[in-house]
């Protein structure tokens, strides 16, 4: 099926190869280069980006010519048990879309970083790992089999580990890096078992090939039990990688890494790896989770809970990056929920738009932090719009897009997710794979939360009076290498939604609607389940917008009206009302405390589970080792010596005595004497001991023969 595929699709493996080579180049020669390796990284990623763009056009051409047919090329990787395992690339609409997202965000982050970490002492090292990360992520999305996906999955994890711990001198940073890696390892248990289950169950057995596995499931050749096991196990992996409740706790801590890393890895690309995996292996989940014709399932519910719980946590953060981190958790929840209700395209489309506006917001927060040398909104920010008007405008655009307001990117993708729940049936919505009304309500609630916490974030950062340290002069606007990526990303945050206008959108012709879904969703391919598509609903779009505006409105009333007025009266720069709800109302206060403590999950993990394993359990195991097993061994040895002595007294030249006691003494003597005396004796003693061993063996021989 790959006969006449376009060159750019056939050679898509060059896209990850270039940054991989750049990693090696920077690692070995980076320090000697003029720009300390950054130029190599940027050149490689730029080329990758160009190739990805060409691959995008090539895919459109290919799709128009032959329809949705993946271009797959692979070679043998290894062979075991007579089974051959391939390695290769799978190019289709989904992977080409990911290539574009990853390369463009990575390129902008590279450029941004030349300024942001410009005077870092491990600058070259930083760029080397940015390259490696980009290569690993691209490798992951192009994988044509699950084994290869595991490799990419773990490699991006290790890059994340290294970059979170970039400033490893400080313990909190290395703690955060370890937490990220270990939490993901927990999820990986599911990944390993799920993958193995699929290997034996699907695709006629003994294959990791994604398309073969998917096809087998679509054709109903795979047992249901195996799919349930596989989908639940893989879900655990998704929960850790894509920050789903209850394995999300590493993601906010990961903000210890440099901001460009947060934007690239912990918002736009790596954390969507889990979402991508569900999308890639969708038949597994569609059948395993029984998505069609239902109104509740595990995946959709995990997503729904995550989007609300994550959104709530964003309210109590003082650190601007943590607000964005919890916002990311919440948005990932939207994507997982969308996949859970069968709205595949909506989820992938939201992944696409979210990458741009979230990278925009993260880099914007970095721009502010760069100016005030802090991420604390309450202590060191406030009134930043006066000092950084350009950053302010881009940040506002990103916030509006995230809040899902018309006509920015987030509006279109969020609306599609809400439509896709199929829960709007009472009010004229149709289609979808079931009636996920609960999930629709959670999604709407999340929309209000999103708009509200972003309003709070914008107020605390950019409005009111500056609360930071002015002793080194006023903060000032960032330079062009920071601003230009911000302009581009905010531009994308405006227009990215237009690529998938809903069908029946009257302002443009039909040939302009649903372009994204048309080229990305493998609906007509052989490896995709028969999902139903919901029909867009005007009424839902209006309701969702109103809900978001209400969320924003409440927050605006609180901050921009009440707090601002009080601040004017008291001539202070305030961040909250002194007699706010959480202080005056006991229940709200308790809720606030639960949020500040992050639902006590960290206490459970670190204080209980990890602490128990590290100290009592490990010590108990070691105690058993030393006091039980080893003591038995020692006792056996001592008894043998004792028995030997006894026997020696009775029977001269006893075998046991000669062996146990004798060898002990000889080794004592040897050890001591060899320290001073020449090596000639080594041979003597060696001969003696060897002879003894031989005698022993001979004795057994004789005993046996008799």
Partner 1 sequence: METIADTNWLLTVVVFAPLVGALIMVLIPQEDEQSHKQVALFTSLVTLGLAAFLLIDFNYGDAENLQYFVDTQWIEVIGAGYTIGVDGMSLPLIALTALIMPLVFVYSWNHIPEPGNAKAFLILSLILETGMIGTFVAQDLVLFFVFFEVVLLPMFFMIAVWGGENRRYASLKFFLFTLFGSALMLLSFLALYFLTEADTFSMLVLTENAGEGITRGTQLLVFAGMFLGFGVKVPMFPFHTWLPDAHTEAPTQGSVILAAVLLKLGTYGFIRIAIPMLPEAAEAWAPWIGLLAVIGIIYGALGCLAQTDMKRLIAFSSVAHMGFVMLGIATLTDFGINAAIFGMVAHGLITGMLFFIAGSVKERYHTLEIKRLGGMLAQAPRLGWILGFVSMASLGLPGLAGFWGEFPAILAAYNPAAGVSEQTFRVYMVVAAVGTVLAAGYLLWLLQRTAMGEPSAEFADDPNITDVSTTEWIAWAPLLFGIVLFGVAPGLIFEVTDPAVTQSLDNCITTLTGCEVAEAAASSGSGGG
CA gap 438, 295 in Å, rounded: 8
Measured from the CB of residue 579, what is the shortest distance to partner 1 in angstroms? 43
Q: What 3-state DSSP class applies to 398?
A: helix
Residue 99's CB: how many other CB atoms inside 10 A? 26
CA gap 399, 163 in Å, rounded: 26
Structure tokens at 587: 């229940």
> Cβ closer to partner 1: 121 or 472?
121
Measured from the CB of residue 531, what is the shortest distance to partner 1 in angstroms? 20
Alpha-carbon distances, residue 48 vs 92, 123, 331 (angstroms): 17, 22, 27
> Cβ closer to partner 1: 65 or 84?
84
Measured from the CB of residue 216, what is the shortest distance to partner 1 in angstroms? 9
End-to-end CA distance of the chain: 73
- Measured over all CA atoms, what is the biggest interatomic distance in the chain, rounded to whole angstroms? 109
> Cβ closer to partner 1: 503 or 674?
674
Q: What are the phi and psi torsion angles at 294 (to 5°)?
A: -115, 180
Are the CB atoms for 461 and 375 separated by under 8 Å?
no
> Cβ closer to partner 1: 15 or 226?
226
CA gap 256, 628 in Å, rounded: 44
Measured from the CB of residue 704, what is the shortest distance to partner 1 in angstroms? 5
Are the CB atoms for 420 and 432 separated by under 8 Å?
yes
Measured from the CB of residue 671, what is the shortest distance to partner 1 in angstroms? 5
* Exposed / middle / buried, residue 441 (Cβ in 10 Å: 0-12, 13-18, 19+): middle
Measured from the CB of residue 403, what is the shortest distance to partner 1 in angstroms? 38
> Cβ closer to partner 1: 429 or 644?
644
Structure tokens at 193: 């078992």
Q: Residue ranges of the alpha helices (H) in 165-248? A: 171-201, 210-218, 224-241
Q: What 3-state DSSP class applies to 677?
A: coil
Measured from the CB of residue 244, what is the shortest distance to partner 1 in angstroms? 18
Paired with 87 in beta bridges are 75
Contacts within 8 Å (CB) and 24+ apart, 672-676: none
User: In residues, how long is the chain?
Assistant: 706
CA gap 365, 318 in Å, rounded: 13
> Cβ closer to partner 1: 236 or 595?
236
Measured from the CB of residue 626, what is the shortest distance to partner 1 in angstroms? 8
CA gap 41, 132 in Å, rounded: 9
Measured from the CB of residue 45, what is the shortest distance to partner 1 in angstroms? 20
> Cβ closer to partner 1: 170 or 474?
170
CA gap 558, 554 in Å, rounded: 6
Measured from the CB of residue 136, what is the shortest distance to partner 1 in angstroms? 9
Phi-psi region of 36 (alpha: psi -120 to 50; beta: other; left: phi over 0): left
Measured from the CB of residue 66, what is the shortest distance to partner 1 in angstroms? 31
CA gap 69, 67 in Å, rounded: 6
Report which of 549, 294, 539 is spatially closest to residue 447, judged by C-alpha positions: 549
> Cβ closer to partner 1: 148 or 360?
148
CA gap 227, 217 in Å, rounded: 9
> Cβ closer to partner 1: 107 or 150?
150
Are the CB atoms for 266 and 320 separated by under 8 Å?
no
> Cβ closer to partner 1: 399 or 654?
654
> Cβ closer to partner 1: 295 or 663?
663
Measured from the CB of residue 686, what is the shortest distance to partner 1 in angstroms? 6
Measured from the CB of residue 151, what is the shortest distance to partner 1 in angstroms? 4
Paired with 72 in beta bridges are 90
CA 167 to chain centroid: 20
> Cβ closer to partner 1: 503 or 621?
621
> Cβ closer to partner 1: 588 or 617?
617
């Amino acid at each position: 099926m790959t006969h006449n595929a376009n060159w750019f699709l056939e050679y898509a493996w060059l896209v990850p190869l270039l940054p991989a080579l750049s990693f090696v180049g920077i690692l070995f020669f980076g320090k000697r280069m003029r720009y300390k390796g950054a130029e190599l990284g940027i050149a490689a990623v730029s080329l990758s980006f160009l190739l990805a763009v060409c691959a995008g056009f090539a895919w459109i051409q290919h799709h128009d010519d032959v329809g949705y047919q993946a271009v797959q090329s692979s070679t043998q990787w290894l062979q075991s048990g007579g089974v051959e395992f391939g390695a290769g690339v799978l190019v289709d609409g989904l992977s080409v879309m990911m290539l574009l997202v990853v390369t463009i965000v990575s390129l902008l982050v590279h450029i941004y970083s030349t300024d942001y970490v410009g005077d870092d002492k491990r600058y070259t090292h930083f760029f080397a790992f940015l390259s490696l990360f980009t290569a690993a992520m691209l490798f992951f999305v192009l994988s044509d089999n699950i084994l290869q996906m595991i490799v990419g999955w773990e490699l991006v994890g290790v890059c994340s580990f290294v970059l979170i711990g970039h400033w490893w001198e400080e313990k909190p940073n290395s703690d955060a890096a370890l937490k990220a890696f270990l939490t993901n390892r927990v999820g990986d248990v599911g990944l390993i078992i799920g993958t193995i289950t699929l290997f034996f169950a699907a695709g006629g057995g003994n294959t990791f090939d994604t398309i073969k596995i998917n096809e087998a499931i679509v054709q109903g050749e795979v047992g249901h039990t195996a799919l349930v096991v596989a989908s639940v196990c893989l879900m655990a992996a998704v929960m850790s990688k894509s920050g789903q409740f209850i394995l999300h706790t590493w993601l906010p801590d990961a903000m210890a890494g440099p901001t460009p890393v947060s934007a690239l890895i912990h918002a736009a690309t790596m954390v969507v790896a889990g979402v991508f995996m569900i999308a890639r292996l969708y038949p597994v989940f569609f059948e395993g989770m029984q998505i069609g014709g239902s109104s509740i399932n595990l995946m959709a519910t995990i997503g729904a809970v995550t989007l609300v719980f994550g959104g709530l946590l964003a309210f109590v953060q003082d650190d601007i990056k943590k607000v964005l981190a919890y916002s990311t958790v919440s948005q990932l929840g939207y994507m997982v929920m969308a996949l859970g209700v069968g709205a595949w395209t909506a989820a992938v489309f939201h992944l696409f738009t979210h990458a741009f506006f979230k990278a925009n917001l993260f880099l914007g927060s970095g721009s502010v932090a760069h100016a005030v040398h802090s991420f604390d909104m309450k202590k060191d920010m406030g009134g930043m719009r006066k000092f950084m008007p350009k950053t302010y405008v881009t940040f506002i655009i990103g916030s509006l897009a995230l809040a899902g307001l018309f006509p920015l990117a987030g509006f279109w993708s969020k609306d599609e997710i809400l439509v896709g729940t199929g829960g709007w049936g009472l009010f004229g919505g149709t289609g979808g794979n079931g009636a996920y009304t609960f999930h629709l309500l959670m999604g709407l609630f999340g929309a209000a939360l999103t708009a509200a916490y972003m309003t709070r974030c914008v107020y605390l950062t950019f409005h009111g009076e500056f609360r930071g340290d002015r002793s080194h002069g006023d903060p000032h606007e960032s330079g062009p290498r920071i601003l230009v990526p911000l302009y581009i990303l905010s531009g994308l945050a405006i227009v990215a939604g237009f690529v998938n206008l809903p069908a029946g959108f009257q302002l443009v012709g039909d040939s302009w609607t649903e372009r994204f879904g048309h080229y990305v969703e493998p609906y007509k391919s052989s490896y995709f389940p028969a999902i139903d598509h919901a029909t867009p609903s005007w009424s839902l779009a209006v309701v969702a917008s109103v809900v978001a505006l209400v969320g924003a409105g409440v927050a605006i009333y609180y901050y921009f009206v009440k707090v601002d007025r009080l601040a004017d009266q008291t001539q202070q720069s305030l961040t909250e009302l002194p007699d706010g709800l959480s202080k005056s109302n006991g229940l709200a206060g308790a809720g606030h405390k639960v949020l500040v403590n992050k639902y006590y999950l960290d206490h459970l993990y670190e204080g209980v589970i990890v602490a128990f394993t590290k100290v009592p359990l490990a010590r108990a195991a070691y105690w058993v080792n030393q006091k039980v097993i080893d003591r038995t061994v020692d006792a056996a040895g001592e008894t043998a010596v004792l028995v030997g002595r006894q026997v020696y007294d009775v029977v001269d030249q006893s075998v046991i005595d000669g062996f146990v006691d004798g060898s002990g003494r000889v080794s004592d003597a040897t050890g001591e004497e060899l320290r001073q005396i020449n090596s000639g004796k080594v041979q003597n003693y060696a001969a003696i001991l060897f002879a003894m061993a031989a005698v022993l063996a001979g004795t057994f021989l004789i005993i046996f023969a008799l």
